[in-house]
Amino acid sequence: MRNLAAMPAAVLVVTGLFATAYGTWRGYVAARSALIPLLREGEPTRALVDAGRPLHARSRVRLALRQVLLALGWLAIALYGMYLATVGSAVMR
For CA atoms 3, 82, 69, 38, give the dihedral sign: negative
pLDDT digits (tens, 9 = 90+) for 15-54: 999 999 999 999 999 999 988 877 777 777 666 666 677 7
**Measured distance CA(28)–CA(71) in Å, rounded:** 7
**Measured distance CA(54)–CA(62) in Å, rounded:** 11
pLDDT digits (tens, 9 = 90+) for 46-89: 666 666 777 666 777 888 889 999 999 999 999 999 999 999 98
Q: What is the DSSP letter of 52?
A: T
The per-residue pLDDT for 48 is 64
